[in-house]
Amino acid sequence: MAGKKTTFEVYRGDAKGGARQSYETEVGEGMVVLDVLHQIQREQAPDLAIRWNCKAGKCGSCSAEVNGKPRLTCMTRCSSLDLDQPVRVEPMRTFPLIRDLVTDVSWNYEVKKKIKKFKPRAPDAPDGTWRMDQKDVERVQEFRKCIECFLCQDVCHVLRDHHKHAEFAGPRFFIYTAALEMHPLDSENDRLTDLRERDGLGYCNITKCCTDVCPEHITITDNGIIPLKERVVDDHWDPLTGLVNLVFGRPKG
């Protein structure tokens, strides 16, 4: 099987600096960008740093920017790219660079830790468990498809261009929160205040870039962020709801 000779311009460098380096390599049938990177590693640059695991779009490790677009390199087929032009592969720009295509995503883990954990209501079925409807479960299952590739964080201009890491949790953690808030069993009441005051939900102006890059096709903005914004507004600004909540406690669901 004859491959197509192609130039890949891969970023090489670390926190101190670096540049794209050109590698000529053959692209065979069905190859994805991660295959090409491995081929370069095997044949030309054994110290090329790449982060990857499953190579099947399920673990979200191999995130990078291919021709400027945030992508999972394992799910980016070379046949979808113009191979007559050099293909640019660069690390995610929103996170500090460790080396080559590997970035320091530890900030995401710190953000998650601060979000109040799942708190189930008491079991209510006779056997000591819960009953849930498939359709209630499905709404949340969409968010739980997230593979934590952090491409949505990478593309979000609040983080990417405005560097609001200290006061903005980012799309990944809005849908994480949405999954908790809409979980049929959850009974934690305090996340909405956190969203408004700590996680900077208001910074999101719904450009939907996150939804566009999501490899799991989660409708992050429409199904997650917008309903959260509505809840926050209801919770905080509606005086009648506020009074009702004060007297009867906040409803869930």
Partner 1 sequence: MADIQTHEYDVLIIGAGGAGLSAAVVAAAAGVKVGVVCKSLLGKAHTVMAEGGVAAAMANVDDRDSWRVHFADTMRGGQYLNNPRMAELHAQEAPDRVRELEKWGALFDRTPDGRILQRNFGGHAYPRLAHVGDRTGLEMIRTLQDHGIHSGMEVHMEVTCTRLLKDGNRCTGVFAYDREKGRFRVFKAGAVVLATGGVGRAYEINSNSWEYTGDGHVLAYDAGAELQDMEFLQFHPTGMVWPPSVRGILVTEGVRGEGGVLRNKDGKRFMFDNIPDNYKAQTASDEEEGWRYTQGDKRARRPPELLTRDHVARMINREVKEGRGSPHGGVFLDIAWIKPRVPGGAEHIRKKLPGMYHQFKELAELDITEMPMEIGPTTHYMMGGVRVDADSQMSSVPGLFAAGECGAGLHGANRLGGNSLSDLLVFGQRAGQFAVEYAKKNGRGKVSEDEVKKASEAALAPFSRSGGKGENAFQIQGELQKMMQAKVGIIRSPGEVQEAIGEIAQLKKRGQAVVVEGNREYNPGWHTALDLHNLLTVSEAIARAALERKESRGAQTREDAPGKDPEWGKVNLIVKKGDDGQMQIRREPIAPMRPDLKAIIEEIG
Paired tokens of 9: 């311009």
Q: Which residues pair with 116 in a beta bridge?
A: none
Looking at beta carbons only, is 82 or 110 nearer to partner 1?
110
User: Does residue 224 contact residue 174 with C-beta atoms inside 8 Å?
Assistant: yes
Looking at beta carbons only, is 129 or 205 nearer to partner 1?
129
Rounded to a whole number of angstroms, the minimum distance from the CB of residue 125 to partner 1 is 8
Rounded to a whole number of angstroms, the minimum distance from the CB of residue 149 to partner 1 is 10
Binding-site ranges for partner 1 (CB under 8 A): 1, 14, 28-32, 35, 41-42, 46-61, 75, 77, 98-100, 102, 104-106, 109, 112-113, 117-118, 120, 125, 129-134, 137, 140-141, 144-145, 147-148, 180, 183-186
Angle at 218 between CA 214 and CA 220, to 5 degrees: 90
User: Does residue 2 contact residue 14 with C-beta atoms inside 8 Å?
Assistant: no
| Cα separation, 49 vs 2, whole angstroms | 28
Question: Which helix (H) or strand (E) is 245 found in, with range?
Answer: helix 239-248
Looking at beta carbons only, is 148 or 212 nearer to partner 1?
148
Rounded to a whole number of angstroms, the minimum distance from the CB of residue 207 to partner 1 is 25
Looking at beta carbons only, is 36 or 156 nearer to partner 1?
36
**Closest to 35 (Cα-Cα) out of 76, 94, 93:** 76
**Closest to 194 (Cα-Cα) out of 202, 182, 205, 186:** 202
Rounded to a whole number of angstroms, the minimum distance from the CB of residue 203 to partner 1 is 24
Looking at beta carbons only, is 117 or 240 nearer to partner 1?
117
| Cα separation, 100 vs 16, whole angstroms | 11
Rounded to a whole number of angstroms, the minimum distance from the CB of residue 147 to partner 1 is 7
**Closest to 26 (Cα-Cα) out of 11, 12, 14, 43:** 43
Looking at beta carbons only, is 14 or 161 nearer to partner 1?
14
Rounded to a whole number of angstroms, the minimum distance from the CB of residue 81 to partner 1 is 14
